[in-house]
Structure 1
Amino acid sequence: MMAAEMNRLEQAARVSMSGFQDAEPPPARRSSHLPLRLGAIALLAVTALTAAWQLF
């Protein structure tokens, strides 16, 4: 299939689908749980340091 034929097929598909909305859902809102994430990371770091300190 030549490039010109592919371009015409793609354009025809776009025209025929112009009445339909995209099936993709809207982008998800990013929740602001930054303090919770930082607290979890800090807790994991303290736990890892405590475990390492107990081993030595």
Structure 2
Amino acid sequence: GPGTVSFAGARSGYGRVVEVDHGYGFKSRYGHLRSITVSKGDTVEVGDLVGKMG
């Protein structure tokens, strides 16, 4: 579902990573990204691009 980007950057073990806070204690994490297309605080919806793999 929709959420707010709570972290976008480099993190040990994940390389470039984006974390999305969906509220109610639920978060999604997208790691090992080639590039990041969002910033901390951005609101994202289902289907939005948060980064690129590869």
Shorter-chain TM-score bucket reads under 0.3
More strand by share: 2
Larger RCO of the pair (alpha carbons < 8 Å, separation 6+): 2
Higher normalized helix content (fraction of residues): 1
TM-score (norm 1): 0.15
Larger Rg over CA atoms: 1
When the two structures are superposed, what TM-score results if normalisation uses the length of structure 2? Answer: 0.16
